[in-house]
């Protein structure tokens, strides 16, 4: 993915990677998340992303949660360069025609800076089952695939209809269309080594591979993981378009922890860039003091050099 309208990336690139910050959408005051996005652009980051949860607790009593699309609309109005979006939006619990309108409006407001990260979502009960939404992995995966097909068709601005197992759309045409063509970039997230998320990601515009650890939950993949997945996706994209416009660019995203020592990041990230990564996104775990930690990380700037003017 390139920056809008050929804009140059900020100085001090992280080993040749674009560098983003991702925050849980967990704050009592939505202005906090807006100000963090504005600060991320001022500090020189390339992207600001929000999680997309609705409860985030299997007990039904989770953290204070804000709607990411409302937050990002205000961030769009107060920034001019930084990519914005969600990583990840659980398409299976959203009506794709509503999501098409939300994302198109945000892309227009931001002059073509939106990225849509997608996945089947979690926790299965805390964000789905509580509301009697489908919570099985297979059904959510099917809803994700169908939802993405519907999104792409509605973003096209052409007459579109769809008949699926779970979703059906009579002939309709959505206007206006997003700024970005042929569509808003879609990044698919998935836990390695499951093959289905890799195959799904190859049909779209980027992949956010994640590893799962019993001790630590979702963790950063290794450079070898990135290299192997990049080869798999490149091979699939070369051999099989599956009727989708593959486009020229493809993003491989490293989902990383907030760096305790930003100055050491170029050395850590270099093997990832060599393996095929294009983005490095630091995200906070929602643990005690996570908010203060991510604020400090943004203030330090991409490589610990402090805020840029």
* HEC letters along 2-32: CCHHHCCCCCCCECCEEEEEEECCCCCCHHH
Of 3-7, 106-110, 253-257, least confident by mean pLDDT is 3-7
Superfamily (CATH) of domain 14-300: Luciferase-like domain (3.20.20.30)
Residues in the chain: 309
pLDDT at 239: 86
Tokens representing 255 are: 């989902």
Tokens representing 164 are: 């699926």
- Largest Cα–Cα separation, the chain: 54
d(CA 191, CA 220): 11
Containing H/E element for 70? Answer: helix 68-78
- CB 202, CB 101: distance < 8 Å: no
Q: Classify residue 171 by burial, with Cβ atoms within 10 Å: 0-12, 13-18, 19+.
A: exposed
- CB 188, CB 201: distance < 8 Å: yes
d(CA 85, CA 113): 8
Residue 94: strand, helix, or coil: coil
Indicate whether 161 pLDDT > 70.
yes
- Per-residue pLDDT, averaged over 13-31, amounts to 94
pLDDT at 1: 37
- Per-residue pLDDT, averaged over 8-20, amounts to 70
pLDDT for 202-251, tens place per residue?
999 999 999 988 777 788 999 999 999 999 999 999 987 655 554 558 99
d(CA 86, CA 72): 9
pLDDT at 9: 38
**Residues 104, 243, 121, 250, CA torsion sign:** negative
């Amino acid at each position: 993915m390139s920056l809008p309208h050929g804009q140059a990336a900020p100085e001090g690139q992280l080993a040749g990677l674009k560098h983003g910050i991702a925050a849980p959408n967990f704050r009592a005051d939505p202005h906090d998340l807006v100000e963090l996005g504005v600060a991320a652009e001022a500090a020189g980051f390339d992207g600001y992303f929000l999680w997309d949860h609705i409860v985030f607790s299997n007990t039904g009593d989770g953290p204070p949660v804000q709607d990411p699309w409302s937050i990002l609309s205000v961030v769009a109005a107060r920034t001019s360069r930084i990519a914005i979006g969600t990583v990840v939006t659980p398409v299976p619990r959203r009506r794709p025609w509503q999501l098409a309108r939300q994302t198109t409006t945000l892309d227009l407001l931001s002059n073509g800076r939106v990225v849509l990260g997608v996945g089947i979502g979690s926790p299965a009960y805390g964000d789905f089952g509580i509301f009697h939404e489908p919570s099985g992995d297979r059904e959510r995966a099917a809803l994700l695939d169908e939802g993405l097909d519907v999104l792409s068709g509605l973003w096209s601005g052409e007459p579109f209809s769809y008949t699926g197992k779970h979703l059906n759309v009579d002939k309709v045409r959505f206007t206006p269309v997003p700024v970005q063509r042929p569509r808003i970039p879609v990044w698919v997230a998935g836990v390695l080594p499951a093959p289905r998320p890799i195959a799904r990601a190859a049909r779209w515009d980027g992949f956010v591979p994640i590893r799962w650890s019993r001790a630590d939950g979702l963790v950063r993949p290794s450079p070898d993981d990135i290299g192997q997945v990049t080869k798999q996706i490149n091979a699939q994209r070369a051999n099989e378009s599956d009727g989708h416009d593959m486009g020229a660019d493809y993003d491989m995203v490293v989902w990383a922890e907030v760096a305790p020592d930003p100055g050491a990041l170029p050395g850590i990230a270099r093997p990832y860039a060599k393996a095929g990564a294009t983005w490095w996104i630091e995200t906070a775990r929602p643990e005690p003091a996570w908010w203060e930690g991510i604020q400090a990380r943004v203030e330090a700037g991409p490589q610990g050099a402090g805020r840029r003017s």
